[in-house]
Amino acid sequence: MNYLINPSANTCLTSPYGIVSDLDKNWFYDALRDTHNLIEKIMYEIPVDIFSILGMRNLSAFIGELYVVSLANYSSGGFIKNPHQDGYPDLLLMDNYGQQLWQQLNLSGQLRYKQPFSPFQNGGLEVKATCGSVPTPEECLRKWGISKPDMGDTRISFLKSYDWKAHHQEINNLIGIIWDFNNRTPEIVAVFFGNNLVQDDWRMQDRKEGRGRTTSLSVMTRVGVAKMYQNWILVKNDFRYIDFLNRYNHGNLISSKL
């Protein structure tokens, strides 16, 4: 795999208790490699087109989940997957405080409850994946003579924007993934880490009464996307992706000359 790695990326995570953990940069690449290996197995060992069954939105979430599991495996117990499907963050920080909390929840029989894990008191890492946005079918037909990129089609030539979405506005340690299709196979093309995000970096949509801090949808603002770009971790060494990310963020931080 040919990826650019940002040697100056800030991979420090600060827990709600003020404890700073410096994440091993190798974890990000190792988790990417293992995610790709899992995807390859799914592609060639399962006799159904599971990606078409999932659809684009669920496929994004699925790729994020594969990355979560792979990253947890490389953390040597430093992070574990949130046991609740709707909990957050996706990876729970298991430093001394995290381990104590886990033991307390275990002894009190609360490991299957949602409340202690939405959010987990000691924090951790969120992981979100996106394949970006393409023009409407009408625009695609007018510009390129196709209705819209289909499942399995490489999207980079059509991308107009990207962001990440969540169901709350409290994400401040986010691993953001961008993926695309390569030879009809899903492939992660960029990984970013936002450890300085704030609530205003998320634009809340369709807030419903009685939902508390949970929203039906929060979308990262351009300011938040710029913060993620400024702390890029890995980018596929392919001019198309490098050029798109730099142009979209009005910068030149990513270079194949690194």
In which region does residue 187 sit, left (phi positive, over 0), alpha (psi from -120 to 50) or beta (all else)?
beta
pLDDT of 208: 52
Regions of the chain with pLDDT less than 70: 169, 206-216, 257-258
Contact yes or no for 225/231 (Cβ under 8 A): no
215 vs 70: CA distance, rounded Å:
28
pTM of the full structure: 0.92
Give the model's pLDDT for residue 207. 53
CA–CA gap between residue 127 and residue 176 (Å, rounded): 6
Give me the pLDDT at residue 216, please. Answer: 62
Quick one: CA dihedral 210, 211, 213, 218, positive or negative? Answer: negative
Alpha helix positions (H), the chain = 25-45, 50-74, 96-107, 137-144, 222-230, 239-248
Q: What percent of the chain has pLDDT over 90?
A: 75
